[in-house]
């Protein structure tokens, strides 16, 4: 069989441990054996590389590849690359993986049930050897509000609706009900306050942008019903932490579950670890699965090779996500 000129390599650029990087390289090479995929440091000629697969990369390393045509992010969140003006003209394709959406929807349901069934209170009671039955509230009387109705928000809305919770959802642009079934939808700043004032458990699935930074602040928390709860699975800086801690300490807010933080890992000295009304998770609500994500990447690369078209969804730099 005639062999054409070797394809230029695809660069893998990530800030991962050696084991994590190897697992990704193995999965990606299995998914697209015809491609030459190399870690950035192993590429002899950076100028021949047209595509980089990136996982929270150091922007300085990406800059060394000055002939890139596009980048494929292996993560759903892309705020670090969006913040780099040097990449303004370079299409950045976001990871959209149904398996990631399923995992996140599962996490949203799990931690919603944790709050709904008063597990933090029962844990505190157990530690105090206290036998006390709290009143049961059926899911039909526990309203769950979602900040963000994107790929992850819609998957979570479905799962919560199936579990019997009335679901409300807020997004930047208005959503039609059709695809979202029974979800009550809101948009814009007036829609935000209208939604949170009817929300018992607020779940944040927003990207971090200039507009969403510190969106969950004192005014928003004040607008929620007394003893409401918060789950943040989006990005840490979307929540104003001093405002959240003040609301929890004053018992206006009952409990919060945080999976994402301004600084990760959260330093051991942080007082958040010891707050009695906080449950902290080490950014585990929905990890990208290398096996399923590699198949998505391989499909995108194949389509680009065949058509020259950059795959979707390309991040909109103006919107920031
Ligand atoms: N903790 C974890 O393990 C983990 C894992 C994966 C992802 N994440 C985070 O989850 C985020 C969401 O992922 P996704 O795939 O669902 O993103 P997506 O499909 O882009 O959806 C983003 C949603 O947020 C809404 N939104 C953005 N800016 C807004 C604003 N200023 N006001 C109101 N709504 C706004 C969008 O509104 P429109 O619909 O109007 O555009 C959209 O509904 C990611 O960016 C990432 O930060 C976390």
pLDDT digits (tens, 9 = 90+) for 244-261: 999 999 999 999 999 999
Burial of residue 8, with CB atoms counted within 10 A of its CB: 0-12 exposed, 13-18 middle, 19 or more buried: middle
Q: Report the run of H or E that residue 70 belongs to, with start and end.
A: strand 70-73
Q: Is 5 helix (H, G, I), strand (E, B) or coil?
A: coil
- CATH number, domain containing residue 161: 3.40.50.720
**Is residue 252 annotated as a catalytic residue, yes or no?**
no
Token pair belonging to 13: 């650029």
Q: Is 185 helix (H, G, I), strand (E, B) or coil?
A: strand
Q: Which atom of ligand 1 is nearest to the CA of 319?
A: 28
Instruction: Please tell me whether residues 237 and 274 are part of one structural domain.
Output: yes
Structurally, the chain folds into a number of domains equal to 2
Instruction: Please tell me whether residues 225 and 119 are part of one structural domain.
Output: yes
Instruction: Please tell me whether residues 174 and 126 are part of one structural domain.
Output: yes
- Calculate how far, in angstroms, residue 46's C-alpha sits from the geometric centre of ligand 1: 33
The residue contributing the CA closest to ligand 1 atom 28 is 172
Q: Is residue 1 part of a domain?
A: no
Q: Which atom of ligand 1 is nearest to the CA of 153?
A: 16
Q: Is residue 76 part of a domain?
A: yes
Query: Residue 180 — very low, low, confident or very high, per pLDDT cuts 50/70/90?
Result: confident
**Contact residues for 19 (Cβ-Cβ < 8 A; gap 6+):** none
pLDDT digits (tens, 9 = 90+) for 269-284: 999 999 999 999 999 9
Instruction: Please tell me whether residues 258 and 127 are part of one structural domain.
Output: yes
**Is residue 255 annotated as a catalytic residue, yes or no?**
no
Instruction: Please tell me whether residues 195 and 276 are part of one structural domain.
Output: yes
**Contact residues for 264 (Cβ-Cβ < 8 A; gap 6+):** 236, 282, 283
pTM of full prediction above 0.85: yes
The residue contributing the CA closest to ligand 1 atom 21 is 150
Instruction: Please tell me whether residues 256 and 299 are part of one structural domain.
Output: no
Q: Is residue 118 part of a domain?
A: yes
- Calculate how far, in angstroms, residue 205's C-alpha sits from the geometric centre of ligand 1: 5
pLDDT digits (tens, 9 = 90+) for 299-310: 999 999 999 999
Confirm if 259 and 230 have CB atoms less than 8 A apart: no
Q: Is 121 helix (H, G, I), strand (E, B) or coil?
A: helix
Q: Is residue 206 part of a domain?
A: yes
Q: Is residue 153 part of a domain?
A: yes
User: What is the DSSP-derived secondary structure letter of residue 257?
Assistant: E
Q: Is residue 214 part of a domain?
A: yes
Instruction: Please tell me whether residues 249 and 110 are part of one structural domain.
Output: yes
Q: Of these residues, 283, 302, 303, 317, which one is catalytic?
A: 283
Instruction: Please tell me whether residues 224 and 293 are part of one structural domain.
Output: no
**Contact residues for 269 (Cβ-Cβ < 8 A; gap 6+):** none
d(C-alpha 118, C-alpha 132), whole Å: 12
Instruction: Please tell me whether residues 269 and 149 are part of one structural domain.
Output: yes
Residue 77 clears pLDDT 90, i.e. is over it? no
- Calculate how far, in angstroms, residue 67's C-alpha sits from the geometric centre of ligand 1: 30
Give the pLDDT confidence score for residue 56 in this predicted structure: 87
Residue 149 clears pLDDT 60, i.e. is over it? yes
Confirm if 58 and 41 have CB atoms less than 8 A apart: no
Instruction: Please tell me whether residues 15 and 154 are part of one structural domain.
Output: no
Query: Residue 129 — very low, low, confident or very high, per pLDDT cuts 50/70/90?
Result: very high
The residue contributing the CA closest to ligand 1 atom 18 is 150
- Whether 260 lines ligand 1, by a CB cut-off of 6 Å, is yes
Q: What would the mean pLDDT of 138-165 be, rounded to a whole number?
A: 97
Q: Is 291 helix (H, G, I), strand (E, B) or coil?
A: helix
Q: Is residue 258 part of a domain?
A: yes
Q: Is residue 243 part of a domain?
A: yes
**Contact residues for 246 (Cβ-Cβ < 8 A; gap 6+):** 218
Burial of residue 307, with CB atoms counted within 10 A of its CB: 0-12 exposed, 13-18 middle, 19 or more buried: exposed
pLDDT digits (tens, 9 = 90+) for 45-60: 999 999 999 998 999 9
Q: Which atom of ligand 1 is nearest to the CA of 284?
A: 3
Burial of residue 81, with CB atoms counted within 10 A of its CB: 0-12 exposed, 13-18 middle, 19 or more buried: buried
Confirm if 215 and 206 have CB atoms less than 8 A apart: yes
Q: What would the mean pLDDT of 150-176 be, rounded to a whole number?
A: 96
d(C-alpha 272, C-alpha 227), whole Å: 19
Look up the domain containing 126 and give its range.
Answer: 100-280
Give the pLDDT confidence score for residue 176 in this predicted structure: 81
Instruction: Please tell me whether residues 115 and 41 are part of one structural domain.
Output: no
Q: Is 312 helix (H, G, I), strand (E, B) or coil?
A: coil
Instruction: Please tell me whether residues 170 and 261 are part of one structural domain.
Output: yes
């Amino acid at each position: 069989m005639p062999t054409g000129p070797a394809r230029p390599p695809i660069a893998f650029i990530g800030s991962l441990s050696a084991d994590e990087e190897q697992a990704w390289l193995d999965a990606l090479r299995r998914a697209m054996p015809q491609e030459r995929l190399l870690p950035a440091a192993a590429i002899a000629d950076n100028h021949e590389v047209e595509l980089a697969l990136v996982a929270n990369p150091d922007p300085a390393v990406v800059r060394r590849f000055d002939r890139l045509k596009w980048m494929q992010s292996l993560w759903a969140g892309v705020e670090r690359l969006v913040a780099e003006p040097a990449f303004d003209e370079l299409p950045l394709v976001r990871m959209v993986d149904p398996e990631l959406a399923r995992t996140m929807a599962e996490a949203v349901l799990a931690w919603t049930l944790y709050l709904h069934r008063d597990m933090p209170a029962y844990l505190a009671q157990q530690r105090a050897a206290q036998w006390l039955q709290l009143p049961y509230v059926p899911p039909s009387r526990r309203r769950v509000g979602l900040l963000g109705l994107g790929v992850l928000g819609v998957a979570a809305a479905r799962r919560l609706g199936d579990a019997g919770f009335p679901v409300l959802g807020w997004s930047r642009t208005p959503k039609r009900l059709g695809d979202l079934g029974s979800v009550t939808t809101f948009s814009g700043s007036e829609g935000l306050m209208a939604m949170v004032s009817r929300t018992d458990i607020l779940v944040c699935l927003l990207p971090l942008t200039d507009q969403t930074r510190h969106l969950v602040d004192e005014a928003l928390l004040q607008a929620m019903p007394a003893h409401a709860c918060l789950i943040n699975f989006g990005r840490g800086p979307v929540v104003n932490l001093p405002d959240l801690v003040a609301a929890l300490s004053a018992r206006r807010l009952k409990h919060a579950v945080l999976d994402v933080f301004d600084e990760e890992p959260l330093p051991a000295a942080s007082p958040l670890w010891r707050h009695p009304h906080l449950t902290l998770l080490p950014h585990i609500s929905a990890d990208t699965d290398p096996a399923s994500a590699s198949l998505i990447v391989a499909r995108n690369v194949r389509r680009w090779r065949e058509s020259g078209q950059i795959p979707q969804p390309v991040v909109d730099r103006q919107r920031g996500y």
